[in-house]
Structure 1
Amino acid sequence: MNNITFDKIHTQTKQKKLMDMMHLSALACHQIYNTNNPASACPICQSTEFSFYVEKFGFRLDKCHKCQQIFCNPMPNREQLNCYYNGEMGEFENQFFEDSFENRIPIFDYRIKIIQQYLDAGNLLDIGSAIGIFIEALNRANTKLNISCCEPSEDACERLRKRFPKVTLFNDWMQNLPNTAQYDGISLWDTLEHIDQIDTFCTKLFNLLKPGGYWFFSTPNTSSFEWEIAGKDHVQLLPPGHINLFNPNSIKILLNKHDFELIEILTPNGSLDVSYIEKLLAKSTKYDVNIGAFLKEKFKDAEFKDGFIQLISQTKNAGNMLVVARKPK
């Protein structure tokens, strides 16, 4: 897999303007009255034991004490979400995807290899297609999959139509699609964190799949190296865009609740984590202590410790040297 770094897939324009655009978009959303009430239980495990985590862009995020899910509370309502995705922020993100298009293809090359281990033909519905980087990667891989796209952003759909005129396209929320089991697979790339009514969403997705159909998805992992170090400063804390943030435990609970069989959870692209943390460390020493705390906790995990032992040995960072020398002829 190619060496995927933060700067390769996040353009300098995005890095410089993201926070300003988020503040402007959030302000527009806050001008719309939110009719949703605060939740009294975690949206994943239904535990009532949760507390305030952080406020970002005027939106409160809580964290569940049981499953560690981070969620917006209250959730933005549909009118606010439409304002966000079909406003300036949506167009800004789509242009950013255009500018980083080729650098993002390798991310999907790996995902396509995983898909082909389970599904090499049939109907695949891609939800949250944005401008279609995944679709382009599928075309280049010459897969036999019949692709449909579901995307609520009007701007993104215009770009999709121009680039992929033959692809079946739904400019709508997935929840509004015909409720028929017609797909052999459904893909959802970095989209689950955007979903507000998560149980309704999963029920609908389950119904759209044929018996034996596969759900392929990616989403931020809040129990990962980069999240443990960045914490409440993490760049992916972006409500009203990111409103449900998961970890492996909460994913397992969600899938089990909706009768999905978990096949595997992978965490590729470690180079992206490291490059992001390097940027944080270059800006401030405040994250140094987090790295120490991360390692201290992870050393309790035998699998992690064994892997770390192998790593320091392979990179010649272990504390004992075995030297082989030779006298030249």
Structure 2
Amino acid sequence: MLVLFHVSLSSSLAVGYFFIPLGSAEFTLGLKDFVDVCITGIIFLLSGFVSVMMGRWTAFRRDCLCNLHSALVNQSMYAASIWPKRTPVHREARALVVRYSLLIYNLLFLEARMTDFPFGRHRNMDDAVADLVRMKLLLEPEHRALAGLPVPSAIVVGWLCRFWEEVMNKESPLECSTSFARNADPGRYTVIFTRVFQARDAITLCHTYMQTQIPYGYIHLIICLVHASCLANSIFCGIQFGILLQNASTRGSDELISVVVPLVIVRMLRVMLVPLLLDGLICVGTVIAMPMGTDTDDFPAGAFVECLEDECLSVGAALEAWQPDAHLLTKKGGVAPDMGLAVANEADVSKPAQASG
């Protein structure tokens, strides 16, 4: 609609100035200089605006989601290394860490999408969280505990923190803590809680970006300058085209055809492309300012969650199927492994003997 408005305005001015007799058209040169300055200046401002928005987009991806993803995956890998067996106790402990990791990731996206307006059919955050109960990521008692509380993703990080604290307590009544508490030391404690705090910091940073928008005065100033530049451009193109068309008509039909056809193409392209370029940059900036929404160009939340789930579950499944300490290393009492490194070591020892022979 905006492009059609500028095309209509330019065409109307071209028709009007085709019939208006003018002794000189030198004023169009001043108008052209003004338009060129406006377009050059607004592009300079818009480039800074888009750069700021791209910085926000990169921060969302790298400092927020990437750090959160890394922290959750590392905790799941650590849980898989502590509880690697196929026993119900080990699987239960691993499943809790994985479920809370997926829950944190889903909650963060829901919080981002419910910041300014209700998301889809959901009226509020509690209604949106209810879907996670149906997805078996959240238990009904946990749902009731989260009801009405702000930043539920950070609360689940607190639950995960409490789980690790209980697991590493030597007097814990949890069955899964027996395989950990015997070897618990400050170094291992620091490793796991560093990842817990990394996840909490990523959520805090994400909410900081979500709640800090670009100043409205700056946005409104850019929008006003963009519309003024597009309007001046359309006026210039219409007036100049009408004057040139009038001059060409006085010199014969051949010159009229040779001048009008390329001039129409060039002027129409300029009238259409300038609004598309300037308004397009504004639209791009506003879309990437909040990349955790539901727009087509926003982050694919479903794909991210599936990737997180695959990474969290794959380590546990692989350790159940294959544990290097059970197959590749010599057991206590002198029982040698039956495959793997022993065969490789024998081959490495035989090579120098063959070479010397």
Q: Is TM (by shorter chain) over 0.5?
A: no
Q: TM-score, normalised by structure 2?
A: 0.20
Higher RCO structure (Cα 8 Å, ≥6 apart): 2
Larger relative strand fraction = 1
